[in-house]
Amino acid sequence: MERIQRVRVWSAGLRLAHWLIALPVLVLLATGWLIGVAPSLAAAASDVHGVAGFALTLGLALRLYLLLAGSGAAHWRALVPAPGDLGKAGMMLRFYLSLGRTPLPRWYSHNPLWVPLYALILLILVAQSATGLLMEHRPLLAGFYLPAVHAFLAPVILAFSALHIVAVVLHDARGTSSDVSAMINGHRIFVIEKPQTPAQAGIQSIPIERIGKR
């Protein structure tokens, strides 16, 4: 017998920060590319780049605040890989290599394979915002030519975004926890297998709040 339970794993603040980061990043990738390749559109693209850059900076500021002051999935501790999650990360790799044919492991909020990449991309985005804000007034900083750093990080952010979007769509399509809508409404779905009779020998149960928690 199966039972499903909706559990709120993403707080409103974290979801707001996610979308205030994700949507501007997509606009910044497109407008940054236009600035470089389409001189006739560069002025308009640069204006939009500036507005989206401001929105991204707000989103990052909120995310950084939550890393320190938030709780649960929003706190920085949730972005530190746990050695116990290594097996689940391996299962995730098998899932991708088989194009979604092997089973997904169970996890609570952040995907165990992506945890270190989330921390890294937040750091990269902070560097990208800082170079974007500074480079026009101060192109050289500590020996780094900031426009070159900004142009170098853009394809790295593009690669992360593309892989991340394909991955979360694959998790949603092949898994049972409705991951994409969870980043909108906050709730992931957990399928709980219930024993036929409560007293079935040898089967342990854990409360839903503990699923996937370390």
* Residue 146 contacts residue 138 (beta carbons within 8 Å): yes
Cβ nearer to ligand HEM, comparing 105 with 132:
132
Among residues 33, 100, 106, 178, the one that binds ligand HEM under rule CB under 6 A: 33
Among residues 20, 28, 62, 89, the one that binds ligand HEM under rule CB under 6 A: 28
- Spatial CA neighbour of 63 closest among 106, 118, 9: 118
Distance CA 77, CA 67 (A): 8
Q: Select the span of 55-63, 90-98, 137-145, 190-198 touching ligand HEM (CB under 6 A).
A: 55-63
Two tokens, residue 207: 């409360």
85 in contact with ligand HEM (CB under 6 A): no
Q: Select the span of 82-90, 93-101, 178-186, 196-204 touching ligand HEM (CB under 6 A).
A: 178-186
Q: Which residues contact 13 (CB under 8 A, 6 or more apart)?
A: 62, 66, 70, 74
136 in contact with ligand HEM (CB under 6 A): yes
104 in contact with ligand HEM (CB under 6 A): no
Cβ nearer to ligand HEM, comparing 140 with 203:
140
Among residues 20, 92, 95, 160, the one that binds ligand HEM under rule CB under 6 A: 160
168 in contact with ligand HEM (CB under 6 A): yes
Tell me the residue nearest to ligand HEM as measured from the CB. Answer: 132
Q: What sign has the CA pseudo-torsion 122, 22, 157, 33?
A: negative
Cβ nearer to ligand HEM, comparing 77 with 210:
77
Distance CA 21, CA 52 (A): 9
Two tokens, residue 209: 């709040």
Cβ nearer to ligand HEM, comparing 18 with 88:
18
Residues that bind ligand HEM (CB under 6 A): 18, 21-22, 25-26, 28-29, 32-33, 35-36, 46, 49, 53, 56-57, 63, 110-111, 114, 118, 121-122, 128-129, 132-133, 136, 147, 150-151, 154, 157, 160-161, 164-165, 168, 179-180, 183
